[in-house]
Copies of this chain bind each other. A is one copy, B any other.
């Protein structure tokens, strides 16, 4: 149940180069642990592996109640309010959700403003027993607020106000904002998004834990994995702390001319882990005109689409590859009489061996193609390993952001489109902004 760094981008980065980063890694470490860096009001994620047992028990109780009477949970949230949950469920859950018949399905809303999506969601729900978890710090972020306006009306019409109130759970601010007020008025169960944890660092708060518990995930094991990461990744020595080494490597590679980092995996279930990782690093570091552009590749799938670019395109990319040592199932390749497909040289080998060999082969090919590569090894596809991974990357991201010289915990750029949107939509209070936008450029 660990994530290990097993390849440090050699021959493109030497251990000496990595060691040269030590004083800066130490400085970044001190900013973090002494809470003296920019954004230090948002360091609550550090202690999330040790949650209050009382809160966890309350959360499980309500999750159990919801799971008893529902077979669909609609998670309403955007950005960090849903990506951690989606990442965890794509990793732990069925590989083919469209064929599987789980006791409970989690679907998402409030992460887009597509009339197509929302209309079809509302139409499909009639066939299911529905519960809703609305997740928003303020309650006024347009996407989730809009979806909740529809879903709340749907639930009250279908179940009546009283029963709907038992099927709707709000995860929101402790005391302030529209959603906490609405929840009080309607007597919803609420869980708290801590003040000192930003959205992209929130998967181990009730934001992620509640829907995961409803879906049957062992959240104790998830937290135990994170706790182990927290206990293990403490050495300030960049050669002994994999999370710090990764942070230093990204900063070295950026300054060697890499503009893009691609998160690469060979398990389809890691697709949304990559999306979570993209938000974590992209939003933490993409500011002040800086930052690596975070991309993701699902191999070997994308070797047949983006592989050409990676092998021979512009040399501005490095890859961070996650190898899963033990997939969820073992599968042996049968022998085929006559060998018509020419694959009998693989007969009686495991599919995992072939997949793993594709990884090794690709790393050698990309090295020949001058693509620096970092390799991580994840033990298995368990809750523990996932918790370890979440914490590992959160820690690494904090150090990496400080090394880059930015505030790893804010996201000022996210306001720009919102402000324009409020102005163009005629939201009260944005009249001056509207006038500015309507001035011909």
Q: Which of B107, B266, B287, B334 touches A308 (beta carbons < 8 Å)?
A: B287
Whether B421 and A357, one on each chain, are in contact in the complex, defined by CB atoms closer than 8 angstroms, is yes
Which residues on the B side are within 8 Å of A80 (C-beta)?
A: 304-305
Whether B313 and A285, one on each chain, are in contact in the complex, defined by CB atoms closer than 8 angstroms, is yes
Interface size class of A (residues with CB under 8 A): 35 or more
Whether A306 and B279, one on each chain, are in contact in the complex, defined by CB atoms closer than 8 angstroms, is yes
Q: Which of B117, B125, B309, B345 touches A425 (beta carbons < 8 Å)?
A: B345
Q: Which residue of B lies closest to A349 (CB)?
A: B425
Whether B293 and A313, one on each chain, are in contact in the complex, defined by CB atoms closer than 8 angstroms, is yes
Whether A421 and B361, one on each chain, are in contact in the complex, defined by CB atoms closer than 8 angstroms, is yes
Whether A290 and B303, one on each chain, are in contact in the complex, defined by CB atoms closer than 8 angstroms, is no
A113 to B365, CA, bound (A): 18
Chain A 359-383 residues near chain B, CB threshold 8 A = 360-362, 364-366, 368-369, 381
Q: Which residue of B lies closest to A332 (CB)?
A: B115
Asked whether A105 is an interface residue with its Cβ less than 8 Å from the other chain, the reply is: yes
Chain A 264-297 residues near chain B, CB threshold 8 A = 266-269, 275, 278-279, 282-283, 285-295
Assuming the A-B contacts A115-B329, A119-B331, A260-B293, are A139 and B341 also in contact, with contact meaning beta carbons closer than 8 angstroms in the complex? yes
Which residues on the B side are within 8 Å of A381 (C-beta)?
A: 116
Convert A103-136 into 0s and 1s, putting 1 for each residue whose CB lies closer than 8 angstroms to a CB of B: 0010100011111111111001101100000000
Which residues on the B side are within 8 Å of A64 (C-beta)?
A: none
Distance to closest chain B CB from A436 (angstroms) = 10
Which residues on the B side are within 8 Å of A292 (C-beta)?
A: 314
- Which of A80, A282, A412 is packed against the most chain B CB atoms within 10 Å? A282
Chain A 304-319 residues near chain B, CB threshold 8 A = 304-317
Distance to closest chain B CB from A405 (angstroms) = 13
Asked whether A25 is an interface residue with its Cβ less than 8 Å from the other chain, the reply is: no
Which residues on the B side are within 8 Å of A340 (C-beta)?
A: 178, 181-182, 185
A143 to B354, CA, bound (A): 10
Whether A351 and B290, one on each chain, are in contact in the complex, defined by CB atoms closer than 8 angstroms, is no
Assuming the A-B contacts A305-B83, A314-B286, are A298 and B112 also in contact, with contact meaning beta carbons closer than 8 angstroms in the complex? yes
Q: Which of B149, B199, B279, B427 touches A345 (beta carbons < 8 Å)?
A: B427
Distance to closest chain B CB from A275 (angstroms) = 7
Q: Which of B78, B114, B312 touches A95 (beta carbons < 8 Å)?
A: B114
| 23 CB-based A-B contacts, threshold 8 Å | A11-B441, A79-B304, A101-B127, A112-B301, A113-B266, A113-B351, A114-B266, A119-B329, A145-B341, A148-B341, A149-B334, A181-B340, A259-B260, A260-B260, A278-B306, A279-B306, A282-B313, A286-B306, A293-B293, A307-B417, A310-B413, A311-B413, A312-B413
Write the residues of chain A forming the contact surface with B, with a CB cutoff of 8 angstroms.
11, 72, 78-80, 83, 94-101, 105, 107, 111-121, 124-125, 127-128, 139-140, 142-143, 145-146, 148-150, 153, 178-179, 181-182, 185, 199-200, 259-260, 266-269, 275, 278-279, 282-283, 285-295, 298, 300-301, 303-317, 327-331, 333-334, 336, 340-343, 345-346, 349-352, 354-355, 357-358, 360-362, 364-366, 368-369, 381, 411-414, 416-421, 423-428, 437, 441
